[in-house]
Amino acid sequence: MRLRPVLVVHYHEISLKRGNRPLFLRHLRRNVERALAETGPVTITQLSGRILVELDDHPAPELARDRVAHVFGVASVTLAYRTPSTLPAMKALLARLLDGRSFASFRITARRAFKTYPMTSVELNRALGAFVLERVPTRVDLEHAEQEIHVEVMPAETYIALDRTDGPGGLPVGASGTVAALLSGGIDSPVAAWRMMKRGCRVVFVHFHSVPYLPATSQAKARALVERLTAWQYVSRLHLVPFGEIQREVVLSVPPPLRVVVYRRLMLRIGEELARRAGALALTTGESLGQVASQTLENIACIDDAAALPVLRPLIGMDKLEITAEAQAIGTFEISIEPDADCCTLFTPRHPATRATVDEIRGAERALDITRLIAMGADGATLETFAFPAARAAVS
């Protein structure tokens, strides 16, 4: 008997405003396709309220399921198997699926999508339940079953599934447009980028480094982080901006306590220039209120003053423990904690101002040729592209 696996992909329809639904579904379907690219042949159909992925000739249905379980917008994915809707056929499939499995308790949850089927759901539960009891040393537990067996009877065929995997929820990447994420090698900014992806944004990454003043480790970390995050958006671009020379110019004219805020304002402006070129409508950073000296309300106000595009800070209300837990869950933490010399440690005073004012900062910046510095950063940046699951490809 040949197994006929199929993925049943559910999304949270309830959160969808009517007008957004076609856009949401278009992106969701495309992202499911991308997530499954190169895993094997699939046939994707859109039904009402769910997406069906047929895996008849697919070599690794579990891998396909795990991939789809990482697509933003997916609420849950069930790996089911198709069978004709006769009791003997259902039993034969069940026998095959139960082979080698053991569980202390189970329940059958049968549903009939068409009510003219000759057996009721209760009768199906009983008949199939008795069949399971004949083959597996287990018991029925309707309340807390260790193993739930889903049976869905449709006019043409029946689906039987032994598991359901939660998806990440959120909105499909691409449905909300593009943002440029300022990505350091730290713990916070990768989580911020991931959160924006979860809200349906395609993220373009911008990393500032101080080569040759500092070693290239921060770039290596940025690459590793982008590679990890690309699993959620399938294709990524990373701009690597040489920042050391720019910092050197700042040091020549800006008093030490104001330098950190001036660096951040320059990062924002350069990020904004790259964002415009990439068609991004906003910037995003990993700042969280009060976490470090540069992240007081006063300094955030000073930093924002330099940007024309909105600066989105998805972590603003989170504390370090929450951010760290999320970094661990998405697999960026282990990369972020690798030792490295971030550009912010270069030419940085020991006591940065925690309450800079916009006037003070604008005054200090008067000594700088801001336009030239922005061009220096944006034009000096190199671009790399990343694809999931394939390896990185350098572009220029």
Binding-site ranges for ligand ATP (CB under 6 A)? 182-184, 186-189, 206-208, 267, 285-287, 291-292, 294-295, 342-344
**Which one of Mg ion, ligand ATP, none is in contact with 292 (Cβ closer than 5 to 8 A by kind)?**
ligand ATP
Question: Which among Mg ion, ligand ATP, none contacts residue 286 (Cβ within 5 to 8 A by kind)?
Answer: ligand ATP
Which residue's Cβ has the minimum distance to ligand ATP?
A: 186
Closest CA to 278 of 385, 362, 352: 385
73 binds Mg ion (CB under 5 A): no
Residue 287's binding partner among ligand ATP, Mg ion, none (Cβ under 5 to 8 angstroms by kind) is ligand ATP
Q: Identify which of residues 78 and 295 has a Cβ nearer to ligand ATP in the complex.
A: 295
Q: Smallest Cα–Cα separation from 235: which of 103, 62, 392?
A: 392
Q: 233 or 285: whose CB is closer to ligand ATP?
A: 285
Q: How far is the CB of 204 from ligand ATP (least distance, A)?
A: 12
Tell the residue number behind the tokens 């189970």, with chain if given: 106
Provide CB contacts within 8 A for 354, sequence distance 6+: 293, 296, 298, 299
Q: Give the residue with the Cβ less far from ligand ATP, 35 or 206.
A: 206
Write down the least CB distance from residue 342 to Mg ion, Å: 6
Per rule CB under 5 A, is residue 184 in the interface with Mg ion?
yes
- Is 291 or 385 the residue whose CB approaches Mg ion more closely? 291
Choose the contact partner of 340 out of ligand ATP, Mg ion, none; CB within 5 to 8 A by kind: none
Select 184 or 332, whichever has its Cβ closest to Mg ion.
184
Q: Does the footprint of Mg ion cover residue 186 (CB under 5 A)?
A: yes
176-184, 259-267, 298-306, 332-340 -> range binding Mg ion (CB under 5 A):
176-184
Q: Look at residue 330 and give the partner it binds from ligand ATP, Mg ion, none, a contact being a CB closer than 5 to 8 Å depending on partner kind.
A: none
Query: What is the rounded CA–CA span in Å between residue 48 and residue 71?
Result: 19
Comparison of 82 and 207: residue with beta carbon closer to ligand ATP: 207
- Which positions touch Mg ion (CB under 5 A)? 184, 186
